[in-house]
Amino acid sequence: MWGERQTMVVLKSVVLLMSFQLLLMVRGSMVQLKNGGYEDIVIAINPQLPENDKIIGNIQAMVKEASTYLFQVTKQRFFFKVIKIIIPQTWQQKSNYSRLKTESYDKADVIVADPFLKYGDDPYTLQYGGCGEMGRYIHFTPNFLLSDSLFDIYGSRARVFVHEWAHLRWGVFDEYNNDAPFYVSNDFGEAKVEATRCSANLTGQYIFQSCQGNKCTIRQCKYSNMTNLFEAGCKFVPEKRQTASTSIMYMQGLPSVVEFCDKHSHNEKAPNMQNKMCKYKSTWEVIMNSTDFSKASLINSSHPPSEPSFVLLQARDRVVCLVLDVSGSMGAHKRISRLYQAAETFLVQIIEIGSWAGIVTFSSSATIQTYLQQIVSENVRQDLIKYLPTRADGGTNICAGVRQGFQVIKAKFSNTDGSETVLLTDGEDNTMRNCLEEVRSSGSVIHTIALGPKAAPELELFSKMTGGLQYSATDALESSSLIDAFSGISSGSGNISQQSIQLESKALQVAVSQWMNGSVTVDSTVGNDTFFVVTSSGSLPSIFLTDPKGKQYGNINFTTSTANPKTARLTIAGTAEWGDWHYQIQNTYTALQVISMTVTSRAASLDVPPVTVRAHMNKDTNSVPSPMVIYAEVSQEFLPVLGATVIATVETQAGTAVDLELLDNGSGADVAKNDGIYSRFFTSLQADGRYNLKVRVHGKDKTVRLGRRQSRALYVPGYIENSTIQMNAPRPEVNNEEIQAKLGSFSRTASGGSIVVSGVEGGYADIFPPCKIMDLEAQIEDESIRLSWTAPGGDLDMGQAKQYIIKMSESFLDLKEAFESATSVNTSSLIPRPAGTKESFQFKPENITAENGTIIYIAVRAIDNASLTSEPSNIAQAALFLPPRQSLPNTPPPPPPPPNNNNPNNGVNITIVVLIVTGSVVVLCIIISTTMCILHKKHGRRGTAMSA
């Protein structure tokens, strides 16, 4: 018996290990790399776009050209092989359009959609993570795909696609920096201002363009008295014909650019995101360290082995089957009644009108409760609720439930392609592997919900294989995680105006006769189809709800059902009043009970996208000591929302919870400041098992919106060709009232799914050092240097460090490669502040004679109480540079350019300018000489007359 038990333990451990490995393998994008060819790349067209076949044709042309370019720039390693294009359901159906399988708009690698506020056509990639981590998606506007006039600004679409693909797939960053476009260099013995670029061998001129209406003038740039760098608005205009062949991540549109910067051509001193995020490594070095590169081999050919093939897919009505566990263990911890409450919320409030829904229950075997019904009215929703389970009994056969769910879908449609299955279970089942292949090939997306601590450890395999969502819910009654899980399963069609948005989700233990009070904000972007739902673990409490205008609602206004008497629901007719809704709920039960309030709504208008929140962790599985990162993207469609308070709650399967404020400050886990991505490391691990993530977001009147994303293709200001400056039209700007307008107050709650953690049990010591400081800045003030940075924590970006080590050198390489050997700065008076706060420190450098052209490099490390040390910070530059009186004497200021009716650009020939200026000077000298001569003669005649 002992041997059998040991064998079972070993087998179970092997299964868990295999599950974790598979989860890690399939996590993230569904793109596959086979023999150098990328397959199953999904490009999705937004359903709001009007039908235009030219978009599809130009996507295909772009990818075909990009495949050849990608093959060239990766030195015959990678190319594009199979591309799937999702056509909106609103477009006309055609015979060559196939039905979607597990693909969806929300999971697409490339999105084609209008920019919100129409502020421009910059292609960009949404990047959450650090160096080498995959991005979320690439965003192209339809105008970018349709307008050939943008070629001069960004380069060919194919080159732009490769630029963005490098962001998305390999986690490299841009080698320009709009926030720090210039820096001081003395690499060649002479201090001068350089453009932030890679490589530094790219040549060009520094031009300032000013426009009024359609008339633009250009001149050479001046120096700023404040920064001693070039003035704000100065642009580096490159020569169109270059000898340098790099770099794609700087200016991909230059014809000579056919390579990524490598260790030989990389400009490690440029203050750009690539250097900041990737420890001064070149983009090609990062790509060579990728998993893709390790799998690739040289292809002995000058062209890709094959051209890309395209599969056109079209979305159909949403089809969902609930597959619900009703085994005997579901009778414990009130699981079956909580399941009823959560599933009812999904059927009444979450699933979209026009969708199809069916219900299957399973224990030792599976039973079809109702075949698919199309939700065309409230009556259909109420009819579906009747089939939700209320009793639990029997064993657990997950495969039986999934197979029966597939049968429900096939009874209406010929196959399960493009359907969704919501699979909930609380039990273990060692036969799950028997249907893995069926699930994999089904074409149905499986969303999994693990209820309680003993749900099958292999459950997440189903969701990961099919691209589904994965959730977990605790047995703790004061948790609303089960309702949150069902509320998070909305359509992935991209039509956010139809999706349900959770505004509030709060649960609390309330003593006898005590109150649960709170408020929820209904903002101007939502208000339609609004529900207030109160649940209880004992009996319904007394409910008092007041809208922003003072109208009151009580128990009489809420509805309940005999099948679910512990849930009361209020539906607001029309559009709910905007503002703060206040609720007071009293426990009138004879004992302590758990009361919850959930509020959902939909967009108020088809024309104004609602504020949404997407939350997740950086991994689906994690093993200590690897840190976890929590992300919350707060946006109004593609526009980041700033200034919000974002609180993440991480809950163990035992029900204990940890709250953590996420920040958008560009330090610690946060990659970029003010991009609407709120982030934080999570280190408070308590036990092995599943952890559930929930995020609450609150915005007040100070909340503003920001315009552009990071990681985007450079908007090229112009080119110099044959000594002629040819300027592009200035970048279109949105007026400040639009882009910085106050969004107002709002409330959001979102589930971020679950993560499986191992390696915690048995405890662990302090294993997390302070995080790397990413935003160190230095400035010379008189004879001192002032430093500023954001404080790290004692554990990554949590807590407080113990001390700082500051090093300086006149050699950049000293700090990059031999930090400890560099000159130390006395920091005895510097006491670290709590994580996330701003630090400032001033010191006078010793043994360095400052003169014009002196550059001092500084870096910082933090140490915690366990003597764990952070990585060296980014290397800041303090430069003593006195600009010359005239910048660039070899390029005289050009006159206003002539108008060009075919292009909004403006050109001027430098040779003509030189001749004109030289001729003007000669003419002016002749005039002056002649005048002086005449005056001299007159003076001579007067003198002669006087002497006579």
Q: How many CB atoms lie within 10 A of CB 745?
A: 18
Question: Could you give the CA distance from residue 325 to residue 361 in angstroms, rounded to a whole number?
Answer: 6
Tell me if 398 sits within 8 A of 432, measured CB to CB. yes
CA distances to 319, 333, 348, 357, 415 from 564, rounded to whole Å, are 25, 16, 13, 20, 34
DSSP-assigned letter for residue 637: T
Nearest 5 degrees, angle CA 809-CA 813-CA 815? 50
SS (H, E, C) 596-612: EEEEEEEECCCCCCCEE
| Residue 202, CB-side half-sphere exposure with 13 Å CA sphere | 33
Distance of CA 201 to the CA centre of its chain: 32
CA distances to 63, 215, 624, 678 from 758, rounded to whole Å, are 41, 64, 7, 26
Which of 422, 427, 331, 416 minimizes the C-alpha distance to 384? 422
Nearest 5 degrees, angle CA 672-CA 676-CA 681? 60
Over its C-alpha atoms, the chain yields an Rg (Å, rounded) of: 32
User: Rounded to the nearest 5°, which phi and psi values hold at 556?
Assistant: -65, -25
- DSSP string computed for 431-486: TGGGGHHHHHHS--EEEEEEESTTS-TTHHHHHHHHT--EEEE-S-TT--HHHHHH
Which three-class secondary structure state does DSSP give residue 335?
Answer: helix
SS (H, E, C) 349-389: HHCCCCCEEEEEEECCCEEEEEEEEECCCHHHHHHHHCCCC
- To which residue do tokens 């597990």 refer? 102
CA dihedral (368, 374, 375, 378) positive or negative: negative
Structure-token pair, residue 599? 């509020």
Which three-class secondary structure state does DSSP give residue 157?
Answer: helix
Tell me if 649 sits within 8 A of 695, measured CB to CB. yes
Tell me which residues are annotated as active site: 164
CA distances to 78, 540, 546, 556, 747 from 519, rounded to whole Å, are 54, 19, 9, 20, 9
Beta-carbon contacts of 91 under 8 Å, excluding residues fewer than 6 positions away, are: 45, 51, 314
In b/e form, how buried is each residue of 578-587, taking b as 16+ CB within 10 angstroms?
bbebbbebbb
DSSP-assigned letter for residue 245: -
CA dihedral (779, 785, 786, 789) positive or negative: positive
Beta-carbon contacts of 307 under 8 Å, excluding residues fewer than 6 positions away, are: 64, 67
